[in-house]
Amino acid sequence: MKIISEAKAHGGTQGVYSMESEACGCDMTFAVFRPIKAKERLLPVVWYLSGLTCTHANVMDKGEYRRMAAELGLIIVCPDTSPRGDHVPDEPDNWQFGKGAGFYLDATQEPWSKHYRMETHILTELSDKIAGHFAVDMGRQGIMGHSMGGHGALTFALRHPDRFRSCSAFAPIVEPSTADWSRPALEKYLGADEALWRSHDAVRLIEDGARFGEFLIDQGTADGFLDNGLRPWLFEEACKSAGIDLTLRMQEGYDHSYNFISTFMDDHLRWHADRLG
């Protein structure tokens, strides 16, 4: 693990690091915020998964999470959204696919399967680095995300309910197998058999029997992607049918940007802290 930068923030440390990733076949960058309380005891960790076109830096620079994370004693880990490097295949004119758009899954189709293995990278490789280098209680993990990262947070929680104690999302893609801006990506990464997409689709996972204790979702009513890409009411229907507790808050006048995310970040961190203990 290499230190790219470390700076004091709210009494703790905001760091940016890189590691060699066998899963992605390249160096992967990630950010970790450690409150000062980490010097005294092991702390719970909340993973933040970013959205399309983003890196670890977007939420680090604009998410405004450090003050509340320091107060609550939460370690925040922000992975990148895809593999990086000139040797990594990409569609540079397509912002919904390739670099910046890994969709938090392990691709099975060539040429993407050699590098686009974000689920293995985050849940195995990066998780091992976090456990080995930071004062984290890995028995108390929460996960959250925005947009494509919200999709990742919901599916990771549903696929690994024994690992995560809490899950929340900002404007998540809840049914990527039918959304305009995610369906083509699933086909390229996973192939044409839509049955194989179901385990990477939050609504389909619930339909197929996956369960998680409860969810918090905030969604802006002025979000330009609401009707074609996000559609939180589909997740609401699935949760209701399955008896899963969902707090869905439609926030009047808010869009898809970090102005929206930063406004409600404190609420989400408190949500996680209450459930992580």
Domain ranges of the chain: 2-276
202-217 residues labelled b (16+ CB within 10 A) or e (exposed): bbbbbeeebebeebbb
pLDDT tens digits, residue range 17-32? 999 999 999 999 999 9
Per-residue pLDDT tens digits for 206-229: 999 999 999 999 999 999 999 999
The torsion region of residue 73 among left (phi > 0), alpha (psi -120 to 50) and beta comes to left
pLDDT attached to residue 119? 98
CATH class, range 2-276: alpha beta
Closest by CA to 47, choosing from 200, 157, 182, 159, is 157
Residue 180 has what pLDDT? 87
CA dihedral 272, 134, 105, 178 (to 10 degrees): 20
Strands 75-79 and 43-49: parallel
Whether the per-residue pLDDT at 82 is higher than 90: the answer is yes
Which one is catalytic: 147, 168, 177, 182? 147
pLDDT tops 90 at residue 102 = yes
Statement: residue 250 has pLDDT above 90: yes
Query: Which position among 56, 256, 268, 272 bears the catalytic label?
Result: 256
Q: 208 catalytic, yes or no?
A: no
Query: Residue 250 in contact with residue 221, Cβ under 8 Å?
Result: yes
Annotation marks residue 147 as catalytic: yes
pTM score, whole prediction: 0.97
The verdict on whether 50 is a catalytic residue reads no
Share of the chain above pLDDT 70, in %: 100
Amino acid symbol at 167: C
Active-site residue, selected from the candidate residues 106, 201, 218, 223: 223
